[in-house]
Protein backbone atom coordinates (compact mmCIF):
# COMPACT_ATOMS: atom_id res chain seq x y z
CA UNK A 1 0.00 0.00 0.00
CA UNK A 2 1.38 3.41 -0.94
CA UNK A 3 0.66 6.35 1.31
CA UNK A 4 0.95 9.73 -0.38
CA UNK A 5 -0.23 13.10 0.76
CA UNK A 6 0.08 16.19 -1.40
CA UNK A 7 2.68 14.52 -3.61
CA UNK A 8 4.77 13.36 -0.62
CA UNK A 9 5.46 9.63 -0.41
CA UNK A 10 5.03 8.92 3.31
CA UNK A 11 6.42 5.38 3.00
CA UNK A 12 9.63 6.80 1.54
CA UNK A 13 9.99 9.21 4.45
CA UNK A 14 9.45 6.38 6.95
CA UNK A 15 12.04 4.21 5.21
CA UNK A 16 14.58 7.04 5.19
CA UNK A 17 14.03 7.73 8.88
CA UNK A 18 14.44 4.06 9.78
CA UNK A 19 17.65 3.69 7.78
CA UNK A 20 19.29 6.89 9.07
CA UNK A 21 20.54 5.48 12.34
CA UNK A 22 23.71 7.56 12.60
CA UNK A 23 22.39 11.00 11.70
CA UNK A 24 22.31 12.26 15.29
CA UNK A 25 20.64 15.58 16.03
CA UNK A 26 19.42 16.10 12.45
CA UNK A 27 17.53 12.80 12.59
CA UNK A 28 16.14 13.64 16.02
CA UNK A 29 14.95 17.07 14.88
CA UNK A 30 13.32 15.55 11.79
CA UNK A 31 11.71 12.84 13.88
CA UNK A 32 10.21 15.39 16.25
CA UNK A 33 8.90 17.51 13.38
CA UNK A 34 7.30 14.45 11.81
CA UNK A 35 5.76 13.39 15.14
CA UNK A 36 4.27 16.85 15.61
CA UNK A 37 2.90 16.82 12.06
CA UNK A 38 1.47 13.32 12.52
CA UNK A 39 -0.36 14.44 15.66
CA UNK A 40 -1.80 17.42 13.83
CA UNK A 41 -3.00 15.13 11.03
CA UNK A 42 -4.50 12.73 13.58
CA UNK A 43 -6.32 15.51 15.40
CA UNK A 44 -7.70 16.94 12.17
CA UNK A 45 -8.99 13.54 11.01
CA UNK A 46 -10.46 12.19 14.23
CA UNK A 47 -14.18 12.28 14.83
CA UNK A 48 -15.67 14.16 17.78
CA UNK A 49 -16.14 10.79 19.53
CA UNK A 50 -12.45 9.92 19.03
CA UNK A 51 -11.47 13.34 20.39
CA UNK A 52 -13.58 12.73 23.50
CA UNK A 53 -11.97 9.30 23.96
CA UNK A 54 -8.49 10.80 23.62
CA UNK A 55 -9.29 13.41 26.28
CA UNK A 56 -10.91 10.83 28.54
CA UNK A 57 -7.85 8.56 28.54
CA UNK A 58 -5.15 11.24 28.42
CA UNK A 59 -5.04 11.45 32.21
CA UNK A 60 -4.31 7.77 32.54
CA UNK A 61 -0.54 8.24 32.34
CA UNK A 62 -0.59 10.86 35.06
CA UNK A 63 -2.70 8.61 37.29
CA UNK A 64 -0.31 5.71 36.76
CA UNK A 65 2.66 7.93 37.55
CA UNK A 66 0.93 9.01 40.77
CA UNK A 67 0.40 5.38 41.83
CA UNK A 68 4.02 4.54 40.99
CA UNK A 69 5.08 7.49 43.15
CA UNK A 70 2.91 6.31 46.04
CA UNK A 71 4.36 2.79 45.98
CA UNK A 72 7.86 4.26 45.58
CA UNK A 73 8.46 2.38 42.35
CA UNK A 74 10.50 5.23 40.87
CA UNK A 75 12.80 5.26 43.92
CA UNK A 76 13.37 1.53 43.61
CA UNK A 77 14.10 1.75 39.90
CA UNK A 78 16.60 4.58 40.45
CA UNK A 79 18.31 2.69 43.27
CA UNK A 80 18.58 -0.42 41.10
CA UNK A 81 19.41 1.30 37.80
CA UNK A 82 22.66 -0.64 37.43
CA UNK A 83 21.11 -4.11 37.59
CA UNK A 84 18.02 -5.78 36.19
CA UNK A 85 15.09 -6.45 38.49
CA UNK A 86 12.22 -8.82 37.89
CA UNK A 87 8.58 -7.87 38.12
CA UNK A 88 8.19 -10.32 41.00
CA UNK A 89 11.03 -8.63 42.93
CA UNK A 90 9.51 -5.21 42.24
CA UNK A 91 6.14 -6.45 43.43
CA UNK A 92 7.71 -7.79 46.62
CA UNK A 93 9.47 -4.49 47.34
CA UNK A 94 6.38 -2.39 46.58
CA UNK A 95 3.98 -4.83 48.28
CA UNK A 96 1.85 -5.03 45.13
CA UNK A 97 0.46 -7.84 43.02
CA UNK A 98 3.07 -9.04 40.48
CA UNK A 99 0.44 -9.67 37.79
CA UNK A 100 -1.00 -6.20 38.14
CA UNK A 101 2.40 -4.53 38.33
CA UNK A 102 3.52 -6.44 35.23
CA UNK A 103 0.72 -4.93 33.17
Taking 90 as the threshold, does the pLDDT of residue 14 lie above it?
Answer: no
- pLDDT value of position 7: 67
Mean pLDDT, rounded, of the chain: 83
- Residues 63-89: pLDDT tens digits? 888 999 999 999 999 998 898 999 999
Please state, in angstroms and rounded to a whole number, the distance separating the CA atoms of residues 99 and 84.
Answer: 18
> Could you tell me which residues are beta bridge partners of residue 97?
none
Q: Name the more confident of 100 and 25.
A: 100
Amino acid sequence: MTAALGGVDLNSIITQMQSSSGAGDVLEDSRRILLRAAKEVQYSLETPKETCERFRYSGLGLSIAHVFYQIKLFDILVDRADSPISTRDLANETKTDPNLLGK
